[in-house]
Chains A and B, each alone.
Chain A
Amino acid sequence: MALAAIAVRRVTHRWPAKRGEPVVALQEVSCEFPAGQVTSILGPSGCGKSTLLLVIRGLLAPTQGAVAFRSRSNGSVADGPPATMATVWQGFHLFPWRTVLDNVAFGLELNGWSAERRYAAARKALQAVDLAGFEERFPRQLSGGMKQRVGLARALVLDPDVLLLDEPFGALDAQTRLVMQEQLARLVESTGKTVLLVTHSIEEAILLGDRIVVMTARPGRIAAEIEVGLARPRSLALTHTREFAELFERIYGLLRDEVAKSMLQAQEA
């Protein structure tokens, strides 16, 4: 049985507020994320992108609606068991008391792997993100870009069907971000995993995505689903092409009003 797609079905989520009305983070969101593709989820801050990712991962039970995992067997597609998933977080969330190696091996440790096997796997994963030689460092001794590569290795070592990236480069400086985007594009192209990338950078969404889901300001709804259709492998040079500029303009047009709305919401809050 192979994963065909993740189907989000009429998901609504309200966060309880301390005073007054609950905050509606997601409103009747329905969309599909095809397997083996990179889907960028783009929207203004506070639109519920990260909430959607938590719901899909199963770490947050939505107020209404459900997430289904469509799988393909014998030529037909039906709801199947949940896919294996792993998340890379904007805030890294590395365990500060564990070394880099022990951070990457943690998921395998939780699943009962022997020390020998999990460290061998973790070393390989660290090599894949160019961090060989940093095994015994503690997270506080690493730069932001290195921390996020540890975060990536920690997720990839579990070999998940689906990789969930929650604004993975949001906390990095602009230059580190560019390098990491290119590295991630290469990594994703080589593994063929299903990737959901939450971002508020239009460039990042186009550069990395096969498809882009554009969300509205709060309460988050789906505003548009766009096929990127640009050839791979992609590099930063792509951002200077006419196709890229046209796509950028189109998405910016969709987002402009929504961002203005979200800024107003922020002022009111």
Chain B
Amino acid sequence: MKAAWHGWAALALALVAWEIGAWLAKVPELYLPRPSVIIVSLYDLFAHGALTKDLGYTLVRIFGGFALAVVTGVTIGIWMGTSDKVRSVGDIFVAALYPLPKVTLIPLLIIWLGTGEAFQITISWLGAIFPIIVNTVLGVQECDRGLVLAARDLRASERQVRWKVMLPSAIPHIFAGFRLGLGVSIVLVVAAEMVTGRTGLGARLFLSGQVLETGQVFAILLLLALLGIALTKGQDMIDAALGRWRAD
């Protein structure tokens, strides 16, 4: 953790170089606005352009779908991990659907669900659930058989073995699945918003591009990047808190 400031310093340095370089070379703002201009655009969007509302829409869609995927994915994953029959059935569907680029499902989902929140949440859920299932199954299968035996010896029911031994022992893998799944959810929700083009950060990004507001385009990209950093760091913190028994 001591070296963490190196990353931030490098980022700051790159931004300063961009600012000075673009200013010296007199690059037109239509192509590459300077960071200072982007920040002013971002402020304007929040202050006068109701960007807060769009950010809210996007976050609700990402986390709504992701939360559903956490509950359904972990449950299905534990089920598949503990029963050979369920796993052989589930494996076929996972193998067929996991590698499919989920953006290709957007047209079909729009036909079925329209372009409203049901569609947005579904696409987010679809993005996150497969990595969560696959990693949960892996985690459950790698659970130490000795621990299961010890729990049975202490008179654990099958249900208790599943939720009090296999689930906690699979937590590191499950969290790796959450990390991957949330990343895919973000991509899909923003992409879906760009296609349907009404509300959300993706829609604002698309509309700004169409009217050649390059400053706004960069401002929204910056916001998405900041969102990514916040989510990654947040997950790191949760990981560290839950993994206290593993750390030194």
A91 proximity list for chain B (CB < 8 A): 146
A110 touches B245 (CB 8 A): no
Query: CB < 8 Å: which of B150, B160, B168 contacts A97?
Result: B168
Q: A residues within 8 A CB of B245?
A: 96-98, 138-140
Please, how many residues of chain A have a CB less than 8 angstroms from a CB on the other chain? 23
Chain A residues positioned under 8 Å from B164 (CB to CB): 106, 110
Query: Is residue A15 within 8 Å, beta carbon to beta carbon, of the partner chain?
Result: no
B159 to chain A minimum Cβ distance, whole angstroms, is 10
Q: How far is the CA of A93 from the CA of B152 in the complex (A)?
A: 12
- Inter-chain CA distance A85–B153, complex, in Å, is 8
Contact B155 A107 (CB under 8 A): yes
Contact with B along A152-195 (1 / 0, CB 8 A): 00100010000000000000000000000000000000000000
B155 and A97 form a contact (CB under 8 A):
no
Q: Which residue of A lies closest to B171 (CB)?
A: A97
B147 touches which one: A54, A93, A158 (CB < 8 A)? Answer: A93
Closest CB in chain A relative to B165 CB, distance in Å: 7
State how many angstroms separate the Cβ of B69 from the closest Cβ of chain A: 24
Report the minimum CB–CB distance from A143 to chain B (whole Å). Answer: 16
What is the interface of chain B mostly: helix, strand, loop, or mixed?
helix
Q: Bits for B234-248, please: 1 = Cβ < 8 Å to A, else 0.
A: 000000000011100
Known: A110-B160, A138-B245. A95 touches B153 (CB 8 A): no
Contact A107 B171 (CB under 8 A): no
**Interface status of B169 (Cβ within 8 A of chain A):** yes
CB A89 to nearest CB in B, in angstroms, measures 6
A35 within 8 A of B: no
Cβ-neighbour of B155 out of A54, A98, A111, A140 (below 8 A)? A111
Query: For the complex, is A86 an interface residue (Cβ under 8 Å from B)?
Result: yes
CB distance from B208 to the nearest CB of A (A): 47
The answer to whether B155 touches A110, judged by C-beta atoms less than 8 angstroms apart, is: yes
Docked Cα-Cα span, A121 to B8, in Å, equals 51
Question: A87 interface residue, CB < 8 Å from B?
Answer: yes
| Residues 103 to 162 of chain B near chain A (Cβ within 8 Å) | 144, 146-147, 149-157, 160
Structural contact, A95 and B165, CB atoms closer than 8 A: yes
Asked whether any CB of chain B lies closer than 8 Å to the CB of A57, the reply is yes
Contacts of A87 in B (CB 8 A): 150, 153
Q: Assuming the A-B contacts A59-B149, A89-B146, are A110 and B154 also in contact, with contact meaning beta carbons closer than 8 angstroms in the complex?
A: yes
Binding site for B on A (CB under 8 A): 54, 57, 59, 85-87, 89, 91, 93-98, 106-107, 110-111, 138-140, 154, 158
What are 25 A-B contacts with C-beta separation under 8 Å? A54-B149, A57-B153, A59-B149, A85-B153, A87-B150, A87-B153, A89-B146, A89-B150, A93-B150, A94-B150, A95-B150, A95-B165, A96-B246, A97-B168, A106-B151, A106-B164, A110-B151, A110-B157, A111-B155, A138-B245, A140-B245, A140-B246, A154-B154, A158-B154, A158-B155
8 more A-B residue pairs beyond the given contacts A59-B152, A95-B168, A140-B245, with a C-beta to C-beta distance below 8 A: A95-B150, A95-B165, A107-B154, A110-B157, A110-B164, A154-B154, A158-B154, A158-B155
